[in-house]
Amino acid sequence: MNDNTNTNGNLFLGLDSSTQGVKGTLIDAEFGVVLEDAVNFDSDLPEFETEGGVHRHADGLTITSPPIMWVAAIDILFEKLKAAGCPFSSVVAVSGSGQQHGSVWLKSSAVDALAGLDSGLALRDQLADVFSVADSPIWMDASTQSQCDEREAALGGPQAVADLTGSRAYVRFTGNQIAKIYQKDPEAYGQTDRVALVSSFVAALLAGKYAPIDTSDGSGMNLMDIRTREWSPEALACTAPELAAKLGPIAPGHKTVGKIHSYFTEKYGFSPECTVIAFSGDNPNSLAGLRLQSAGDVAISLGTSDTMFGYLLDPKPSGVEGHIFANPVDPEAYMVMLCHMNGSLARERVRDSAAGGSWDAFGEAIANTPAGNDGRVGIFFFEPEISPPTANTGTFFFDRNGDSIDNLTPESEARAVVESQFMSMRSHGCGIGLEPSNILATGGASANAAILKVMSDVFGVPVYTGEQTASASLGAAYRAMHGWTCRVKGQFVPFAEVMSGAPSFSKAVDPDPAAHEVYSSMLPRFSELEQRVAG
């Protein structure tokens, strides 16, 4: 928070409609956060009976959320911001973020309902009847494996789907969800005028008219040609009929959707000139929030699971793992995202078993052992891993000859867990074109110097940290500023130029060239062992 009033007066609002709730972040023209507030679906809207913002169905695979709850949350958030004194009239642009992959199914009556929103009524009372599917499938849904198999077969296999759309067919990706709804509920499909993403739906609410799906969030659908950034006719054809018309246009993330609807000017005091910039997915917005803006910029978020994402120009889509998305702030570039399930949980388990539950002792163990662990390797798949994809779980230890051994010394084990996580990220990231020239570390474990040192040595690049977390709503506020600047200047302005005054990150550690060399020569052997374990 800052109470900086020394601005030119323009404010930018970022909204994040996440799985658990909706958050708003208001920034000034000097990048200071002026105000933040949030709504939690479970506690603020208990009548929808969600747990963690979702409904889990009896089959154990289907997971949905009611879109009318997302609508209701927007009014509550704006009420909260208003009560906190939000200077809505100074907001010149708003953009946003939505949980990726979730779909919102709208009947044709949505067009008039959105256009005619009445500020005397609540949003939820005016939009209750516009949905052709009352409970939307979201990214946690895993019920579409048969549709994934069918669509991969129709399009030439997993690698062909990845080459075309940036990712192989994933159960949560929207194209496979659309195929399921068409097959299981053709009547609802027939009643649908528009299939929006969560992101484009919230943009539509604010603008009072359908909003385009942005190319970056559109990359999470297995429907868009990742190179042309248009819907792929082949991918649409094997999904459902007349789909192009139901999806509507696709647009880069800096595009203006329109002016904010009078509902929001009359009810909350927004200026009628406030511009709505295309919304995007939460991960693309996090990339914008961390200001990854040139080739080689990579962030590693050390959370419950670890995520690595980065800006790149020359992607190598993989039919096995990882995602290539269109870049949300650069229409020529891409972003890559890789998820490693065994993140903090694995580090914490080893900290508990090998370092008596103490991060200090864990750090000392790393400091007392040599880079490369004298050739010993540990692989820790406490949970089924995503990168590499495997159902094999357990801990696996190897000596310097690659022979299986029962355990490592506690000190060696502490080093092994961190080394194997970063070696794995390096090898899988490189496999889809990610070659970091610097790394921004975020998330809880980025406060641990010993962990950052291994990260820097494994990748051979400096590691930076900052106050900032991978916040999607802050990224959305930055994108609001970017899109607004492009509109005002009447041309595309590089994101880096618009962000030039943003607070800088500080260098936490430089790589040790000798240690980096050890890891580089170990990498082929590590990958071979990891593959052996993953099966």
Contact residues toward ligand 5FX (CB under 6 A) are 18-19, 99-101, 139, 172, 220, 281-283
- For the chain, the residue count is 535
Residue 105 or 325: the one with the smaller Cβ distance to ligand 5FX is 325
> Rounded to the nearest whole angstrom, what is the least distance from the CB of residue 103 to ligand 5FX in the complex?
13
> Rounded to the nearest whole angstrom, what is the least distance from the CB of residue 447 to ligand 5FX in the complex?
23
> Rounded to the nearest whole angstrom, what is the least distance from the CB of residue 211 to ligand 5FX in the complex?
18
Residue 172 or 479: the one with the smaller Cβ distance to ligand 5FX is 172
Query: What is the SS3 assignment for 99?
Result: coil
- Is-contact 12 484, C-beta < 8 A? yes
> Rounded to the nearest whole angstrom, what is the least distance from the CB of residue 54 to ligand 5FX in the complex?
11
d(CA 464, CA 195): 40
Residue 197 or 441: the one with the smaller Cβ distance to ligand 5FX is 197
Please state the three-class secondary structure of 196-242 as a single string. Answer: EEHHHHHHHHHHCCCCCEEHHHHHHHCCEECCCCEECHHHHHCCCCC
Residue 18 or 191: the one with the smaller Cβ distance to ligand 5FX is 18
* Sign for the pseudo-dihedral over CA of 64, 70, 71, 76: positive
> Rounded to the nearest whole angstrom, what is the least distance from the CB of residue 307 to ligand 5FX in the complex?
8
> Rounded to the nearest whole angstrom, what is the least distance from the CB of residue 323 to ligand 5FX in the complex?
6
> Rounded to the nearest whole angstrom, what is the least distance from the CB of residue 334 to ligand 5FX in the complex?
15
Residue 139 or 422: the one with the smaller Cβ distance to ligand 5FX is 139
Residue 18 or 256: the one with the smaller Cβ distance to ligand 5FX is 18
CB atoms within 10 A of CB 272: 12
d(CA 242, CA 375): 57
Query: In sequence order, which residues have a C-beta less than 8 Å from that of residue 30 and are 6 or more positions away?
Result: 4, 6, 7, 501
* Structure-block tokens of residue 159: 């690698």
Listed residue (410, 351, 423) closest to 382, CA to CA: 351
Query: What is the SS3 assignment for 3?
Result: coil
Residue 97 or 412: the one with the smaller Cβ distance to ligand 5FX is 97
Residue 216 or 293: the one with the smaller Cβ distance to ligand 5FX is 216
d(CA 439, CA 441): 6
> Rounded to the nearest whole angstrom, what is the least distance from the CB of residue 226 to ligand 5FX in the complex?
15
* Sign for the pseudo-dihedral over CA of 388, 323, 302, 464: positive
d(CA 94, CA 77): 14
